[in-house]
């Protein structure tokens, strides 16, 4: 899977793009892969996360790299980074317009986080459509899941109607995800926890999707 590019995209703001990008990065690092992160979102949250991490302890960013890029500069940036890192993860702004195209075009896999609500799910079609036009594999990741609630069941049902693969692993609605992000950490780094199990499982699942082409 050397030099594989994963783009995280979803039109709906706050669906968990940056959370998934950062936590997958840590998941892959914990699995021994080197990881480059590219942020094309002018909000710059992923960069804040990475800088907090690097300032805390430079050892925490060994085998990692971070850069920003314009929407149109992404192919060049990814080409450069994919030669040097096992995995390149691209975080994108909450949009599904033509600006997103280059980031989809370079991707080996497009991950679409869906915060468990109907409104979030409705917003998903835009990205799925664009990805389909670029002939890209997509993987929906249910985020902020609350297992056992009627909402979760309804949204999962509605999601299965979409023409897209849905990850078996769901990320629960857990404070540790928000806390860890603010401290430049991955939720999996705080010792044994449900969140760590989720991130390990999601990382494995994503790696499997990449391996299956
Ligand atoms: N599984 C989760 N459990 C708890 N909080 C979460 C979870 N996922 C995301 N959050 C919180 O929800 C907020 C939005 O998440 P995040 O910034 O990852 O979304 P985003 O899609 O990148 O947003 P934007 O569209 O603004 O870039 C953050 O405060 C984050 O900490
Ligand atoms: Mg974000």
Residue nearest to atom 8 of ligand 1 (CA): 16
Per-residue pLDDT tens over the stretch 75-106: 999 999 999 999 999 999 999 899 999 999 99
Backbone angles phi, psi at 162, to 5 degrees: -75, 150
Please report which ligand is nearest the Cα atom of 146: 1
Nearest C-alpha neighbor of 78 from the set 50, 107, 109: 107
**Run of H or E including 147:** none
> How far is the CA of 111 from the CAs of 67, 148, 158, 175, 176, in angstroms?
19, 24, 18, 22, 21
Q: What's the start-to-end Cα distance of the chain, in Å?
A: 10
Q: What percent of the chain stands above pLDDT 70?
A: 100
Q: What percent of the chain stands above pLDDT 90?
A: 87
What is residue 147's predicted lDDT score, i.e. its pLDDT? 87
Per-residue pLDDT tens over the stretch 136-179: 999 999 999 998 899 988 998 899 888 889 999 999 999 999 99
Interior/surface letters 68-99, b for 16+ CB within 10 angstroms, e for the rest: bbebeebeebbeebbeebbbbbbbbbebbeee
Site to probe by mutation for ligand 1, drawn from 18, 115, 127, 174 as the one with most ligand atoms within 8 Å of Cβ, is 18
If pLDDT is split at 50, 70 and 90, which confidence band does 1 have? low
| Ligand 1 centre distance from Cα of residue 177 (Å) | 8
| Ligand 2 centre distance from Cα of residue 92 (Å) | 7
Domains in the chain, ordered, with CATH?
Answer: 4-211 (3.40.50.300)
């Amino acid at each position: 899977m050397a030099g594989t590019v994963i783009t995280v995209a979803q039109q709906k703001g706050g669906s968990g793009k940056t959370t998934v990008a950062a936590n997958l990065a840590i998941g892959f690092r914990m699995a021994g892969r080197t990881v480059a992160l590219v942020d094309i979102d002018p909000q710059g949250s992923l960069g804040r996360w990475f800088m907090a991490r690097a300032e805390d302890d430079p050892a925490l960013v060994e085998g990692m790299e971070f850069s920003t890029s314009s929407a149109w500069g992404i192919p060049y940036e990814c080409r450069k980074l994919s030669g040097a890192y096992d995995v390149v993860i691209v975080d994108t702004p909450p949009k599904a317009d033509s600006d997103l195209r280059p980031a989809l075009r370079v991707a080996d896999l497009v991950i679409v986080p869906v915060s468990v609500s109907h409104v979030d799910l409705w917003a998903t079609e835009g990205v799925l459509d664009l990805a389909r036009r670029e002939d890209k594999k997509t993987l929906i990741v249910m985020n902020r899941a609350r297992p056992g609630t009627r909402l979760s069941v309804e949204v999962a049902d509605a999601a299965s109607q979409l023409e897209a693969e849905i990850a078996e692993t769901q990320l629960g609605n857990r404070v540790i995800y928000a806390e860890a992000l603010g401290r430049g950490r991955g939720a999996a780094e705080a010792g044994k926890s449900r969140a760590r199990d989720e991130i390990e499982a999601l990382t494995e699942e994503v790696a499997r999707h990449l391996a299956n082409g």
